[in-house]
Amino acid sequence: MKRIGIIGAMEEEVAALKKMLTDVETREIASMEFAQGKLGNKSVVVVRCGIGKVNAAICTQILALHYKVDVVINTGVAGSLRNDINIADIVLSQDTLQHDVDATGFGYDLGVIPRMEQSIFPGDMDLIEKAKKICKEKLPSVGVHVGRIVSGDQFISDSSKKEWLVENFNGYCTEMEGAAIAQAAYLNKIPFLIIRAISDKADQSAEMDYSEFENLAIERSVILLTGLIDTI
Ligand code: ADE
């Protein structure tokens, strides 16, 4: 049976998933609480990794090495980089890269990790198709986009930085963990999917009350995740 690693960003989201688990075994590793158990008849490990690429990569490596997961799914929020992607829409990772990798002084293009074969990590096509289908069935009113997610250890809240990201990387949304999870999954040859709900426009505007948005995002994310896990 496949074992599915789920890295959630929001405490309440992870708590909601943990509550649904049976045969739970909880263990703390690297200051992160991993809950292993069953969701329906599927074997899952649910964990909150904390913010940023280092936490995300460490967490994914533990899922790979200690829990030997076959699939990694990450959910969380992100800032939109496109006018047609609105707050509370969902973005699925066609691929991901790290926008804060800069070895241009060493002759590499922006975002390229020196001496790695690959710096753009594609999401698993099968997981993307399954997630799209579940959104269509269970969240029909939600805008769903499949595109590039650009990650960096930066919260983007400035229009000029946002424009720079769009010009250089053509991303759909930006956040702080996805590409690190993707790189760790790639190095361990594990298929992955990043699922992000849009919480802001990555500029000075705050168009929705975050606490209101958070509940909506968690609700949707739990619906999507439970549906998706069912199909894996
Ligand atoms: N997560 C949610 N919104 C974000 C933003 N604007 N920048 C980085 N990470 C985010």
How confident is the model over 94-150, as pLDDT tens digits? Answer: 999 999 999 999 999 999 999 999 999 999 999 999 999 999 999 999 999 999 999
Question: What mean pLDDT do residues 31-37 have?
Answer: 98
How many A from CA of 207 to the centre of ligand 1?
14
Concatenated DSSP letters for 165-225?
HHHHH--SEEESSHHHHHHHHHHTT--EEEEEEEEE-SSS---S-HHHHHHHHHHHHHHHH
Ligand 1 close to Cβ of residue 77 (< 6 A): yes
pTM of the model: 0.96
Residue whose CA is closest, atom 9 of ligand 1? Answer: 175
Q: How far is CA 154 from CA 46, 95, 158, 181, 186, in A?
A: 25, 19, 11, 16, 23
* Residue type at 172 in one-letter notation: Y
Instruction: Count CB-CB contacts under 10 A for residue 52.
Output: 15
Report all structural domains of the chain as residue ranges with CATH numbers, in order of start: 3-231 (3.40.50.1580)
Six-digit token string for 3: 């074992």
Residue whose CA is closest, atom 2 of ligand 1? Answer: 78
Instruction: For strands 173-175 and 121-122, give the pairing.
Output: unpaired
Ligand 1 close to Cβ of residue 80 (< 6 A): no
Question: Is 200 in the active site?
Answer: yes
Ligand 1 close to Cβ of residue 217 (< 6 A): no
How many A from CA of 18 to the centre of ligand 1?
25
| Residues paired with residue 77 on neighbouring β-strands, in sequence order | 197
For residue 211, pLDDT beyond 90: no
C-alpha torsion sign, points 95, 166, 217, 179: positive
Give the active site residue among 13, 95, 124, 175: 13
Give the active site residue among 95, 124, 200, 203: 200
Q: What is the pLDDT of residues 9-25, one digit of tens each?
A: 888 889 999 999 999 99
How many A from CA of 156 to the centre of ligand 1?
6
